Amino acid sequence: MSKRVAVVTGGIGGLGTEICKSLARAGRTVIAADLGARAERVAEFQREVDGLDVRFEAANVGDFDACGALVRKLEAEHGTLDILVNAAGITRDTTLRKMERTDWDAVLNINLDGVFNMCRYAVDGMLARGFGRIVNISSVNGQTGQFGQTNYSAAKAGMHGFTMALAREVARKGVTVNSVSPGYCETAMVMAVPEEVRTKIIDSVPVGRLGKPSEIARTVEFLTADEAGFITGANIPVNGGLFMSF
Ligand code: CAA
Q: Is the pLDDT of residue 1 over 80?
A: no
pLDDT of the residue at 2: 84
Band the pLDDT of 140: cuts 50, 70, 90: very high
Q: Ligand 1 within 6 A of 29 CB?
A: no
pLDDT of the residue at 243: 87
Percentage of the chain modeled with pLDDT above 90:
96
152 is an active site residue = yes
Nearest atom (ligand 1) to Cα of 201: 44
The dihedral over CA atoms of 65, 67, 69, 71, expressed in degrees to the nearest 10, equals -150
CA 57 to CA 77: how far, in whole Å?
12
Nearest atom (ligand 1) to Cα of 152: 50
What's the CA-to-centroid distance between 10 and ligand 1, angstroms?
A: 25
The dihedral over CA atoms of 25, 27, 28, 32, expressed in degrees to the nearest 10, equals 20
Mean pLDDT of 200-226: 97
For the segment 171-182, what is each residue's pLDDT rounded down to a tens digit?
Answer: 999 999 999 999
- Cα 49 to Cα 42, 57, 91, 176, 224: the distances in Å are 11, 14, 26, 27, 20
Q: Ligand 1 within 6 A of 184 CB?
A: yes
Q: Ligand 1 within 6 A of 224 CB?
A: no
Atom 6 in ligand 1: which residue has the minimum CA distance? 147
Q: Is the pLDDT of residue 28 over 80?
A: yes
Nearest atom (ligand 1) to Cα of 193: 39
Mean pLDDT of 141-146: 96
Residue type, 149: Q
Q: Ligand 1 within 6 A of 189 CB?
A: yes
Q: Which of 121, 152, 162, 184 is catalytic?
A: 152
For the segment 40-61, what is each residue's pLDDT rounded down to a tens digit?
Answer: 999 999 999 999 999 999 999 9
Domain ranges of the chain: 5-237
Top CATH class, 5-237: alpha beta
What is the three-class DSSP state of 240? Answer: coil
Q: What residues are paired with 88 via a beta bridge?
A: none
Within 10 Å of residue 91's Cβ, how many Cβ atoms? 22
pLDDT of the residue at 38: 85
For the segment 50-90, what is each residue's pLDDT rounded down to a tens digit?
Answer: 999 999 999 999 999 999 999 999 999 999 999 999 999 99
Mean pLDDT of 18-47: 96
Q: Is the pLDDT of residue 245 over 90?
A: no
Sort 11 into a burial class: Cβ within 10 Å, 0-12 / 13-18 / 19+. Answer: buried
pLDDT of the residue at 88: 98
Average pLDDT across the chain, whole number: 97
What's the CA-to-centroid distance between 161 and ligand 1, angstroms?
A: 26
For the segment 183-209, what is each residue's pLDDT rounded down to a tens digit?
Answer: 999 999 999 999 999 999 999 999 999
pLDDT of the residue at 132: 98
What's the CA-to-centroid distance between 28 and ligand 1, angstroms?
A: 40
The dihedral over CA atoms of 22, 137, 92, 142, expressed in degrees to the nearest 10, equals -140
For 135-149, letters b (16+ CB in 10 Å) and e give bbbbbbbbbbebebb
